[in-house]
Amino acid sequence: MEEKLKQLKAILGEVSDINNAIALLDWDQQVNMPPGGVEARGYQIATLSNLAHVKFTSDEVGKLLDEFQPLAEQLDPDSDDARLLRVTKREYDKQTRVPSELVIEFAQVTSVAHNAWQEAREKNDFASFAPYLEKIFALRRRYADLFAPYDHVYDPLLDDFEPGLKTADVLAIFSELRTQQVELLKEIASRPQVDDSFLRQPYDEQKQWDFGVEVISKMGYDWKRGRQDHSAHPFTTNFDIDDVRITTRILPDYAASAFFSTVHEAGHAMYEQGISKALRRTPLAGGASLAVHESQSRMWENLIGRSLPFWEHFYPRLRELFPAQLGNVDLQTFYKGINKVEPSLIRTEADEATYNLHVMVRLELEIAVLENRLQVKDLPEAWNEKMRDYLGITPPNDSEGVLQDVHWSGGSIGYFPTYALGNLISVQLWECILQDIPDVNAQIRRGEFGELLNWLREKIHRHGAKFEPQELVQRVTGTKIDPAPYLRYLRTKYGEIYNL
């Protein structure tokens, strides 16, 4: 049986290699590739996607998994091998429902759609992108229907990013969040607004880059196993545990954007760099889910990177780099400025108190299109209407509205809820960190992150995808994903900033 387990792991390693090659091609498309290469890149990614799919769904893999069922029941249920067999069987059962033709078509359409989205956003031309998006939604419906009967058409898509979670679970969580976050926004709006004008002026782009690099180096991002580049939309990708790359986007007239994007992506990357090397080249060599992944990036970006102890350490250095912009701005003013609550157009720049509402807009629109209650061509108007309802603002154009996110062009429908769920998990974990490392804020104030990163490595990172998200969260915190800690956090933090 040991020999057959080696045989299975060898096949899974080859599938992992192919998928990592696809990720490399995708990274290159977003960072380096000339626009003219888009059609050829679509074919390349489609070919490799099909190769990975065919190899993973082969009869050989199915036969090995069937033979391993008695063995799996004898193993320690938390062992690497037991979890590998369980996760592989689950993914095999899903992928064997998907025909190769759909895999190829989806890869081709989304590869071309990415460049179409970039061009449409630059030209504020949703109509030029709409035909691609219609194809993508149609392909996602076809994919979901392969898993019928389901409770909701969105369930199979959500499950790809959040294993085991149902649409009804997400909607219930969001319902509780929405009411209390809207109430908090109204209270904040009744108070005098804080000043962040010092952030909205010219900042040298190279110095922005250098400061971000300096900070994430201290946090623990390993440059021997990573690098940073520019892209239209910041992202993290990995081709192995020892090759995890990030990108950022620098805005010359808004210093906060690049910094918090860099810290956010470094949070994702440090998760991937912390996965046990025993799991490499297997389906376990990745995050537990997108929400758990997002908990790491949002923790570093917000709970740490927007905290007062953090800036008590780093603010003198930032003022040194930008004396003209920050020389007359004291620490408290700066801290309040980077935590200003104000409804805004762009999700990636949104403050903590409004961010989840951006996610709800996208989730509800995705569901409406999948249920055929909304046509793709009508998305801009529906988008603007929901932005007015939830945030009280209307995008002046589609580039700052429905076209702002890259995810739909890549076919990532079912993805957006993970952003808000990640916020919730981050605070649940942070409450545990405060118990286990009582002086963590004092350490952050000194610019020391080693014990904090080691805690995350031990509790979250090293396990990779061994545990489903709800199971992992419950193991660490004692409860499943719960909005209550996050709502307490918002109320406490912004109560102090706005004197509520």
How far apart CA 14 and CA 56 sit, in angstroms, is 9
Amino acid at 243: D
How far apart CA 36 and CA 18 sit, in angstroms, is 24
- Of the candidates 91, 265, 294, 301, the residue annotated as catalytic is 265
Nearest Cα residue to 355 out of 341, 366, 334 = 341
Side-chain half-sphere exposure of 191, counting CA atoms within 13 A: 17
Residue 306 is encoded by which pair of tokens? Answer: 């927007």
Whether 283 contacts 311, CB under 8 Å? no
How far apart CA 9 and CA 13 sit, in angstroms, is 6
Whether 478 contacts 300, CB under 8 Å? no
Q: For residue 417, say if its preceding peptide bond is cis, omega within 30 degrees of 0.
A: no
What value, to the nearest 5°, has the Cα angle with vertex 309 and ends 178 and 222? 90
Amino acid at 8: L
Question: What is the 8-class DSSP label of residue 98?
Answer: S
Residue entry with tokens 């808004």: 254
Amino acid at 290: L
- Phi and psi at 406, nearest 5°, equal -80, -20
Q: CA separation (Å) from 58 to 11, 113, 263? A: 10, 30, 40
Whether 222 contacts 314, CB under 8 Å? no
Residue 265 is encoded by which pair of tokens? Answer: 């992506």
Other CB atoms within 10 A of residue 425 CB: 32
How does DSSP assign 350-407, residue by residue? --HHHHHHHHHHHHHHHHHHHTTSS-GGGHHHHHHHHHHHHHS---SSSTTTTTS-SG
The SS3 of residue 340 is coil
Q: Which contacts qualify for 436-441: CB closer than 8 Å, 24 or more apart?
A: 441/307, 441/309
- Phi and psi at 247, nearest 5°, equal -130, 160
Dihedral (Cα; 92, 98, 99, 101), 10-degree rounding:
-120
How far apart CA 448 and CA 310 sit, in angstroms, is 10
Give bridge partners of residue 406 from the DSSP assignment: none
- Among this protein's residues, is 265 annotated catalytic? yes
Which residues participate in catalysis according to the annotation? 265
